Chains A and B, each alone.
Chain A
Amino acid sequence: MSQQVLSANRLNDGLVVYLVADDTWSEDIEVSEVAGDEGSVNALLTRATQAVSDQKIVDLYLIEVAVVGGEIRPTKYREFIRATGPSVRADLSKQNYVPGADA
């Protein structure tokens, strides 16, 4: 089975987030929890249901990742863009964007 992480959008601001081992949701895919077998994938989904009913997140789904040199990389380019930001606006990437700096 391929490795997977659980992704969603945060309800209040819509930003892309990933489920972390401590049951928080992070904008940074690098800290997300990777599941490699059916049992752990199902466990991710079960743990996320609380966040859905707590109105924290919407639109959750699993994405396939590869862990290369300790880095978690989505295998699909679409998910890579979701994880990093628009490929055409480096200034808005998750690494570079500072909220409020453009206002």
Chain B
Amino acid sequence: MYMYDEIDQSLVDERVIQFRDQVNRRMTGELSEDEFKPLRLMNGVYLQLHAYMLRVAIPYGTLSSEQMRKLAWIAKKYDRNYGHFTTRQNLQFNWPKLEDLPDILAELASVQMHALQTSGNCIRNVTADQFAGVAADEVVDPRIYAEIIRQWSTLHPEFTYLPRKFKIAVTGSEIDRAAVRFHDIGLIAKRNGAGELGFEVIIGGGLGRTPFVGPTIRDFLPERHLLSYLEAALRVYNQLGRRDNMYKARIKIQVHETGAETFTEMVEAEWAQIRDTAVDLAAGEKQRIADFFRPPRYRASADAEAQLRLQLRDDRNFARWVETNVAPHKVTGYRIANISLKPIGGIPGDASSEQMDAVAALADRFSFSEIRVTHEQNLVLPHVRADDLYALWQTLKSYDLDTPNLGEISDMIACPGMDYCALANARSIPVAQQISERFADLDRQHNIGELKLKISGCINACGHHHAGHIGILGVDRKGEEYYQITLGGSGAEDASVGDIVGPAFPYDKVVDAVETLVDTYLDIRTDGERFLDTYRRVGKTPFKEALYGTD
């Protein structure tokens, strides 16, 4: 894992001192709310529906056990004993007091954490594939580049007041677990014909009220040019982005209106001016950062696989969990263990202090003290020995963290919705809970197979509904909660925006509608087809007819 140097540490420490002073000045009235608001937002502090909310950055979703323990401690001491993991791999506390927030930031700084770049029109906290460094299918650990981007973008003076927020995601694999095509910039590491490392550069993707699958503007950017190319793209955006209209201010609108080809030409022209300047890192500095991400000292035992096979044979429930929640690791004898934060009927992404502490202890015991957060609101222990999986699973069970549903219908993304969020038009969480209860039978879920269901409580789409195989968008209709359903979206390497299937459903009918859609799929699927595949083969009609009749 990356460890702060003196510059990193003094930056976050100074920020705590500054924010403490700003809070004091706010409390005494020296600063008005209008003056204070942008300052608190630059430190991740929002005022939400019930209280302040603190969004803590978890750069590229990587956490140490020590950091996780600190989050648990903050939840216990300063909040209401839980936190919410978000679709941007961050963590939100829902009830912090303003007067405690400087102390909370100081606690975070003591473990090399902060809340920078979690709000405002800056380059936001960079996200990455949660299997970074361990995926059997990756060409490079994307966290090296995510960290380089973090250092470049943090408090970048030119990009602190962009037309709108700016989100960058990086993956090192062809299998897209980071939804890179739905980011302002998505980067896919790859090798060219000569074996050199570089990136496919995707620009102008996004969700929200105007969803776009981002187009590729460069098929191969040699990795040594990464920062200068990003800087060129940000400059073009910064200069031409629609500051006059917040709904048209994201880069996706600019790319769409300018046309990807012309936009690319503008970026390339800007890049030609700066590509051989000092923006790009020298090889030595890059190596220094890369060294932090060297693999741990794996010590696979010779009979790990044999022992796992025996345990799988002897315990059906364990075998089910391994089948759904455990992924291959690039090192023989190891596995990647996904920890579902979607217990049946639970609140997607929420974890109690006890659960966070438990995961930290399990990371120490089984995963070189390392934890990942996924954009699908789950946790990952990235380096678990095959013969440790059984002991891991047994402990997870006692904390309700063993739900074997990864990628299945109850493993939903849901934004906080109107239960917490000041922007929401409808609730998301209780809809997610009811769907989860309806499909509580794990055999039934397993028979349905991979089904990505995503719920947002408003058009801003924090719940990624456009990218759901089944997407649900909460809307307000004359004070009543209604839910619009979209079909056929995907946030993976086969990215697509879902199609609206028909008129919205009231709160008490939306779960039935989802069940109708699933039953329709089961009736018409062919062997091996996921819900998404069936939808892409047959289109909207059979689903629409099942929901609304043939008239």
Contact = CB atoms under 8 A, between A and B. Distances in A.
A55 B47 contact: no
Nearest to A87: B419
Interface string A1-39: 000000001011111100000000000000000000000
B33 interface: yes
Interface string B418-442: 1110001001011001000000000
A55 B29 contact: yes
Nearest to B100: A13
Interface in A49-103: 53-55, 58-59, 75-78, 81-82, 85-89, 92, 97, 102-103
Q: Which of B27, B50, B52 has the most CB of A within 10 A?
A: B50
A101 to B, nearest CB: 9
Contacts of B347: 88-89
Q: Which of A9, A53, A78, A92 has the most CB of B within 10 A?
A: A78
B224 interface: no
Contact of A14 (B29, B98, B430): B98
A86 B52 contact: no
Nearest to B346: A88
A13 B77 CA distance: 14
B418 A81 contact: yes
B81 A12 contact: no
Given A88-B419, A103-B81, A82 B49 contact: yes
Nearest to A13: B97
Given A59-B47, A103-B76, A86 B420 contact: yes
B51 A13 contact: yes
Contacts of B243: none
Nearest first, the 6 closest Cβ-Cβ pairs linking A and B are A14-B52, A14-B51, A102-B81, A86-B419, A13-B97, A55-B29
Nearest to B480: A77
Interface of A: 9, 11-16, 53-55, 58-59, 75-78, 81-82, 85-89, 92, 97, 102-103
B49 A58 contact: no
Contacts of A55: 26-29
B50 A78 contact: no
Nearest to B433: A88
Contact of B50 (A11, A54, A85, A88): A85
B288 interface: no
Dominant secondary structure at the A interface: loop
B99 interface: yes
Contact of B418 (A11, A16, A53, A78): A78
A5 B430 CA distance: 28
A85 B429 CA distance: 14
B479 A75 contact: yes
B355 to A, nearest CB: 13
Interface string B15-33: 0000000000011110001
Interface in B19-67: 26-29, 33, 47, 49-52
Contacts of A76: 479
Contacts of A53: 29
B381 to A, nearest CB: 26
Contact of A13 (B26, B99, B418, B420): B99
B471 to A, nearest CB: 21
B80 interface: yes
Given A13-B97, A76-B479, A87 B430 contact: yes
B481 interface: yes
Contacts of A87: 419, 427, 430
Contact of B429 (A15, A88, A103): A88
Nearest to B78: A103
Nearest to A58: B33
Contacts of B50: 14-16, 82, 85-86
B437 to A, nearest CB: 13
A77 B97 contact: no
B52 A77 contact: no
A81 B98 contact: no
Contact of A12 (B49, B98, B479): B98
A86 B420 CA distance: 6
Interface in B60-90: 76-77, 80-81
17 contacts: A11-B98, A12-B97, A13-B99, A14-B97, A15-B51, A16-B50, A53-B29, A55-B26, A55-B27, A59-B33, A75-B479, A76-B479, A78-B49, A78-B418, A78-B424, A86-B50, A97-B80
